[in-house]
């Protein structure tokens, strides 16, 4: 089966458009159409239904999509393995990180990598940790440096780099700021400002409250920790922030018998061969942590 035809098919399936697929893989639209037609002839089934101006995968197209992704990912892995034999550190490295880690943890490693490996094109993606992990699991990204999932699950391979303790914080004028001893249940009387639903950090925070987690009043939610810090500092509720972010504008509330801690680190695919550039990046992150 023609690899270039599979690449064209995957580009159309993922973009939902022949024209956008052509732009994505730098071909003309007639060239894309020709490759799809040849693939349909070889398989003996239509892969796309043209409905109005849109397209949809047929049942045969859906079945091929899963296998096409697997074949192309396997081919990429073979190419990386062969390229690694030369020992050369070059090419492109696709790396994802969260905004918080990208701003507060990664800069020294990125600077050193950029200065050391000038032949590597670093393709850096800023995204939520959950999306980054999903992208690594699909094979779209080589590695991610993010908040690690509370529970490891195949095919992801996790490596902790940093411990990241979180503290409950309020504004200086918040009623809880005046108390020396605070029990977890007392937070239920005040609105919380937390990361969005389904995020690893939110689950870690809620799990720390045990049986009270479902009674927490979440007034606002955002995945940007800098925004959480601002909202808490102006008195809109309590939040939980990394200890490294807390300054004089916030008051730490000491909760009896409660510790909130997340782990930050590297996520890779357990079955993917890392490029020499990916291995070099991981080595530098370990050395500069």
Please tell me whether residues 66 and 95 are part of one structural domain. Answer: no
pLDDT tier, 272 (very low <50, low <70, confident <90, very high otherwise): confident
State pLDDT tens for residues 86-104.
677 888 899 999 999 999 9
Degrees to nearest 5, angle at CA 150 with 213 and 69: 125
Residue 52 DSSP code: T
- Helix, strand, or coil (residue 206): helix
Total structural domains within the chain: 3
pLDDT tier, 253 (very low <50, low <70, confident <90, very high otherwise): very high
Please tell me whether residues 8 and 129 are part of one structural domain. Answer: no
Q: Which residues partner with 168 through β-bridges?
A: 240, 253
Q: Which residues partner with 265 through β-bridges?
A: 146, 160
Please tell me whether residues 271 and 154 are part of one structural domain. Answer: yes
Determine the average pLDDT of the residues in 14-18. Answer: 89
Please tell me whether residues 213 and 247 are part of one structural domain. Answer: yes
Residue 266 DSSP code: E
Nearest residue to 94 (alpha-carbon basis) of 275, 264, 265, 289: 275
Residue 279 sits in a domain of what CATH number?
3.40.190.10
Residue 255 DSSP code: B
Determine the average pLDDT of the residues in 42-53. Answer: 86
- Asked which of 84, 118, 150 is the last residue of a domain, the reply is 84
- Asked which of 67, 84, 101 is the last residue of a domain, the reply is 84
Asked if the model's pLDDT at residue 218 lies above 80, the reply is: yes
Give the predicted TM-score (pTM) of the model.
0.74
Percent of the chain with pLDDT over 70: 99
pLDDT at site 180:
85
Asked if the model's pLDDT at residue 202 lies above 90, the reply is: yes
The number of beta carbons lying within 10 Å of the beta carbon of residue 75 is: 13
pLDDT at site 2:
84
Token pair belonging to 234: 């102006």
Please tell me whether residues 70 and 142 are part of one structural domain. Answer: no
Please tell me whether residues 258 and 182 are part of one structural domain. Answer: yes
The separation between CA 18 and the C-alpha centre of its own chain, rounded to angstroms, equals 28
State pLDDT tens for residues 167-190.
999 999 999 999 988 899 999 999
Please tell me whether residues 171 and 253 are part of one structural domain. Answer: yes
Question: How far apart, in whole angstroms, are the C-alpha atoms of residue 29 and residue 22?
Answer: 5
pLDDT at site 73:
82
Q: How far is CA 228 from CA 103, 131, 212, 235, in A?
A: 15, 20, 21, 11
Nearest residue to 171 (alpha-carbon basis) of 226, 234, 86, 96: 234
Please tell me whether residues 268 and 155 are part of one structural domain. Answer: yes
Please tell me whether residues 156 and 201 are part of one structural domain. Answer: no
Residue 37 sits in a domain of what CATH number?
1.10.10.10
Determine the average pLDDT of the residues in 149-171. Answer: 93
- Residues 276/84, Cβ–Cβ less than 8 Å: yes
Degrees to nearest 5, angle at CA 45 with 42 and 47: 100
Asked if the model's pLDDT at residue 82 lies above 80, the reply is: no
Please tell me whether residues 97 and 174 are part of one structural domain. Answer: no
Nearest residue to 126 (alpha-carbon basis) of 99, 146, 105, 149: 99
pLDDT at site 88:
79
Question: How far apart, in whole angstroms, are the C-alpha atoms of residue 204 and residue 207?
Answer: 5
Full residue range of the structural domain in which residue 74 is found: 3-84
Calculate the average pLDDT of the chain. Answer: 91
pLDDT at site 91:
86
Please tell me whether residues 194 and 78 are part of one structural domain. Answer: no
Please tell me whether residues 214 and 244 are part of one structural domain. Answer: yes
Determine the average pLDDT of the residues in 113-124. Answer: 93
pLDDT at site 72:
83
For the ranges 12-16, 35-39, 56-60, 280-284, the one whose mean pLDDT is highest: 280-284
pLDDT at site 263:
97
């Amino acid at each position: 089966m023609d690899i270039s035809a599979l690449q064209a098919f995957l580009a159309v399936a993922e973009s939902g458009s022949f024209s956008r697929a052509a732009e994505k893989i730098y071909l003309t639209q007639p060239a894309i159409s020709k490759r799809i037609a040849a693939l349909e002839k070889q398989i003996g089934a239509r892969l796309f239904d043209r409905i109005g101006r849109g397209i949809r995968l047929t049942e045969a197209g859906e079945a091929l999509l899963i296998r096409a992704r697997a074949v192309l990912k396997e081919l990429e892995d073979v190419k990386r393995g062969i390229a690694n034999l030369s020992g050369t550190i070059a090419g492109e490295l696709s790396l994802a990180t969260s905004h918080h880690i990208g701003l507060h943890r990664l800069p020294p490693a990125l600077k050193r990598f950029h200065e050391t490996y000038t032949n590597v094109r670093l393709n850096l993606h800023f995204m939520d940790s959950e999306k980054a992990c999903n992208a690594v699991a699909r094979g779209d990204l080589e590695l991610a440096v993010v908040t690690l999932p509370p529970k490891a699950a195949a095919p992801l391979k996790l490596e902790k780099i940093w411990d990241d303790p979180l503290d409950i914080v309020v504004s200086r004028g918040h009623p809880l700021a005046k108390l020396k001893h605070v029990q977890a249940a007392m937070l239920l009387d005040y609105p919380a400002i937390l990361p969005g639903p389904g995020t690893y950090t939110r689950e870690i925070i809620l799990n720390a409250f045990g049986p009270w987690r479902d009674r927490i009043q979440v007034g606002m939610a955002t995945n940007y920790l800098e925004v959480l810090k601002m909202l808490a500092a102006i008195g809109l509720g309590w939040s939980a922030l990394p200890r490294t972010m807390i300054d004089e504008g916030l008051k730490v509330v000491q909760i009896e018998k409660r510790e909130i801690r997340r782990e930050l680190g590297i996520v890779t695919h357990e079955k993917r061969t890392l490029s020499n550039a990916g291995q070099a990046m991981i080595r530098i992150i370990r050395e500069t942590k």
